[in-house]
Structure formats: C-alpha cells, structure tokens
C-alpha cells in the first residue's frame, strides 16, 4: 500500500507499474475500500480487467471501518494501491482541496490514460482532478446519489449542483440501475448520449458452490441451532439506511404469533450495538445471531431459508442477486434499483419501505409455505444466472465504455 505524500509522489518498489507499456493505465478512484456493494464492484473491475489491454491501479482514502476492508484483497491480486490521506467521506473543504491536489499529482505522476471514479465524494474530486490533470478519458460509475439520503434541503441542492457540474468533467457515466439513470436524465446530470446501464455483477459461481457444499448443518451447529429451525438471513452493513430496526420489530411480532425462526445477519457496522440493544428491548435477542465480518459469505447464504433486507434505499441491491444465485427466495423493498434485481411474486416479495405490517405478512407467507419457498428459490436461481448479472460480463461492458469514450476523444481531436 502506497501513501501519497502531500508534496511529492514516489512510486515504491511494491508497485507493479510498467513504464514501457503497450496497455492503457486505468486508475480506479473510490472514497473508501470497505466491504460494500460499490467496493465489490470496484474490486472485481480491478481483478478482471483484460491485462493485455489495461493496467489497473487503485486509489482510495484512508478510512476503513467495522464493515471490513478490501484493500488487502486488492493488493493480493497484484494491483498497486495508493492512499490519498485527505480523501474522506464527510465534507471538509480544507481536506477536500488537499485531496484534490493529491489526486492531480497522482494522475500526472502515474501518467494514467483512464480515470474511473466511484461513489459520490471520490466521483466529484476524482473527475475534477482528471480534467485538471488532463487525463485523456474520465469515467464515473453512479452507484447511488448522495442527495437521495435523508439530508437537509440545502445540502440536497448542493449535491445535485455538484453532480451536474461533475457531469461535465467526464466522458461517460455508468449506472448500475435504470432508476439511477432515469433520475440523472431528469435532473440534467451529464450527457445522456454517454450513459451506459451496467448492473453491478456478482461472482455467481461462488454462490452456486455455496448452495451445493452442504454445510448448513455445520453452520447451524456453530450457532447452537437445530436443522429444523427456519433461518431468516441477511447480508448487510449494519447502518441506518438498511432498515434493520424494522426487521427486529418484525421479528418481535412473529415471535408473539408463535413462529419458530432464527435470524442470521452476516456483516458488521457502526449500528451493531444499537441494533443488539433494540433486540434485547423487544425480547428477540435470543432469535438473532450477528456473525460480524466474514470471508465465507456464500456458505452462510446457503444456510438461509429466506433472505430479508427491508432497505430504505439501494442503488441496485447486489446482495439480493447473491442470495438468489444461491437459490434463496428474497424479501426486499420497492426502492431504488431493487425492483430491477428482484422479480416481485416470482423470485421473492417486494414490500413498501418502512411498512412493518407488509414486511411481517411477507415473511409469514414464506415461512408457512414451503412449496412457495421452493418455487421462488428455483426461479431466483434461474434469474440470477442471467449473463448480465455476472462479474465477467460487467467488466467487459465497462471496457466497452472505455473504448467508446477513447474513440470519441480521438475523433474530437482530428
């Protein structure tokens, strides 16, 4: 891992960069390389780029968290990692200017051909730095818009204005869901002629194998459970916008109705203590197991009888695809890009966000109807097997965006 000094950048011996290259050097820039949807998207792009054509590099901020980090995994696949010490998630104008300067210097020192930014903060600063450093091609993937979060009106207006400006600093916009692309077009963000819809891909083979490895009994034994207990599972960062408080409330109602079940949450995050306290207060703590961060997510998903995540917002919701790839029926919410990756009443059930009664009813329906769970699980597996959801397909489509943007740049100079 390479720190980016404030005054000068030096490539260390750990760098695998080749100065006499025939490939295009692609620098992916992201605010935090924690374990999350946007970060997995970035990781697989770095891992699967066609190395005969592209030389991938990663630049990210220093922040990690209880969710875990993908920085080490990125280094292990032979991708150089550079840390911009002032690239942080929160708005801090002094540090933001420093981060901008760090990125401009990095782009120039590495002589990158393509900058590909991810997430809101890195997307704004990284695209502006690309133009200041005169990088030939700058691409941004919209994993979600910061202005969709519950924030003050003035902040929402500021974020929209920044996104509209940043839309002029890049040569292409990739969207992971139709909803995000439609919203960008409505708000006048970027040039619709350069839009590309590329869903965030998943490693489908990992979840297929997880579903076939027969480890359910061992996992349940680890939790002190018997094999007959229905498992309501989820995979999530434990943060406010995932709606997990509502899932605990639903568990309390289901327990009061006499249902036998156990919840298994794979993940961690800053809200963990608060969620565990709520579970105790509602007397369902004995029905909840939180694994913390795990490296064997597919094997845990294979233990689920149903996957439930009452999220309040998702750019796409790749975890729903991962569960379906393991043949698990899902319950989600009608928000963001989730309806693109869950077929309501076919591969799972979609309910309105923040609707406790609808959530309880949906869980009841699948808990009490084994045949419906089986049918939906099979349909889910078939749906998630579509080529458009696979990581290899995603990266090839991203590279097509690079090629098209490069061609437009070359033609504009002739």
Is residue 8 very low, low, confident or very high in pLDDT (cuts 50, 70, 90)?
Answer: very low
pLDDT at 146: 78
pLDDT at 10: 39
Residue pair 304/323 in contact (Cβ under 8 Å)? The answer is: yes
pLDDT at 211: 59
Residue 36 has pLDDT above 70, yes or no: yes
Same fold, 2-200+390-413 and 204-389: yes
pLDDT at 15: 41
pLDDT at 4: 54
Q: With respect to CATH, is domain 204-389 assigned 3.40.50.2000?
A: yes
pLDDT at 13: 30
Residue 413 has pLDDT above 80, yes or no: no
Task: Render pLDDT for 41-73 as a digit per residue (tens, 0 to 9).
Answer: 999 999 999 999 999 999 999 988 777 889 999
Is residue 342 very low, low, confident or very high in pLDDT (cuts 50, 70, 90)?
Answer: very high
Residue 12 has pLDDT above 50, yes or no: no
DSSP code of 303? Answer: T
Residue 16 has pLDDT above 50, yes or no: no
- Please state, in angstroms and rounded to a whole number, the distance separating the CA atoms of residues 85 and 20: 29
- Please state, in angstroms and rounded to a whole number, the distance separating the CA atoms of residues 9 and 63: 20
Fold of 2-200+390-413: Rossmann fold (3.40.50)
For 59, the token pair is: 């630049």
pLDDT at 242: 95
Residue pair 380/344 in contact (Cβ under 8 Å)? The answer is: no
Q: Average pLDDT of the chain?
A: 90
Task: Render pLDDT for 219-275 as a digit per residue (tens, 0 to 9).
Answer: 888 888 877 889 999 999 999 999 999 999 999 999 999 999 999 999 998 999 999
Task: Render pLDDT for 263-310 as a digit per residue (tens, 0 to 9).
Answer: 999 999 899 999 999 999 999 999 999 998 887 888 899 899 999 999
Task: Render pLDDT for 105-115 as a digit per residue (tens, 0 to 9).
Answer: 999 999 999 99
Domain boundaries, the chain: 2-200+390-413, 204-389
Task: Render pLDDT for 185-195 as a digit per residue (tens, 0 to 9).
Answer: 999 999 999 99
Give 393's contacts (C-beta < 8 A, 6+ positions apart). Answer: 201, 387
DSSP code of 199? Answer: P
When pLDDT is averaged across residues 123-134 and rounded to a whole number, the result is 97
Task: Render pLDDT for 147-157 as a digit per residue (tens, 0 to 9).
Answer: 777 678 888 89
Q: What is the DSSP string of 39-94?
A: HHHHHHHHHHS-TTTEEEEEEE-S---TT-BSHHHHHHTT--EEE-TT--SS--HH
Instruction: Report percent pLDDT > 70 for the chain.
Output: 93
Residues, the chain: 414
Task: Render pLDDT for 198-229 as a digit per residue (tens, 0 to 9).
Answer: 999 999 888 887 656 657 778 888 888 877 88
For 68, the token pair is: 């875990």
């Amino acid at each position: 891992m390479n720190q980016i000094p404030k005054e000068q950048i030096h490539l260390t011996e750990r760098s695998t960069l080749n100065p006499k290259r025939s490939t295009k050097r692609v620098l992916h820039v992201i605010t935090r390389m924690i374990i999350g949807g946007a970060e997995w998207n970035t990781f697989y792009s770095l891992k699967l780029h066609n190395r005969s054509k592209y030389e991938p590099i990663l630049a990210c901020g220093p922040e990690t968290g209880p969710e875990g980090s993908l920085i080490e995994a990125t280094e292990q696949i032979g991708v150089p990692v550079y840390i911009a010490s002032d690239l942080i998630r929160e708005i801090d104008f002094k540090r933001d200017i420093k981060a901008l300067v760090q990125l401009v210097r990095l782009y120039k020192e590495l002589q990158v051909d393509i900058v590909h930014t991810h997430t809101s903060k890195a997307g704004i600063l990284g695209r502006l730095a690309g133009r200041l450093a005169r990088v030939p091609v700058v691409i941004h993937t919209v994993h979600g818009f910061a202005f969709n979060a519950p924030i003050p009106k003035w902040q929402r207006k500021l974020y929209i204005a920044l996104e509209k400006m940043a839309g002029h600093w890049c040569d292409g916009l990739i969207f992971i869901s139709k909803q995000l692309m439609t919203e960008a077009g409505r708000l006048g963000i970027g040039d619709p002629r350069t839009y590309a819809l590329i869903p965030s891909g998943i490693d489908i083979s990992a979840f297929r194998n997880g579903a076939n490895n027969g480890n359910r009994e061992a996992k349940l034994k680890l939790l002190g459970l018997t094999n007959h207990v229905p498992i309501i599972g989820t995979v999530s960062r434990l943060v406010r916008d995932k709606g997990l408080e509502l899932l605990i409330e639903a568990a309390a109602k289901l327990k009061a109705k006499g249902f036998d079940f156990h919840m298994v949450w794979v993940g961690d995050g800053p809200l963990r203590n608060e969620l565990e306290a709520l579970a105790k207060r509602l007397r369902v703590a004995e029905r909840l197991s939180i694994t913390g961060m795990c490296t064997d997510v597919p094997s845990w998903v294979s233990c689920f009888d149903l996957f439930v995540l009452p999220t309040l917002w998702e750019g796409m919701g790749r975890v729903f695809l991962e569960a379906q790839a393991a043949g698990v029926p899902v319950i989600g919410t009608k928000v963001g890009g989730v309806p693109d990756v869950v077929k309501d009443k076919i591969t799972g059930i979609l309910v309105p966000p923040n609707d406790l009664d609808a959530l309880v009813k949906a869980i009841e329906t699948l808990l009490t109807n084994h045949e419906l769970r089986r049918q939906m699980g099979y349909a889910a597996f078939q749906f998630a097997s579509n080529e458009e959801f696979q990581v290899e397909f995603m990266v090839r489509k991203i590279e097509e965006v690079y090629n098209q943007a490069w061609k437009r740049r070359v033609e504009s100079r002739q």
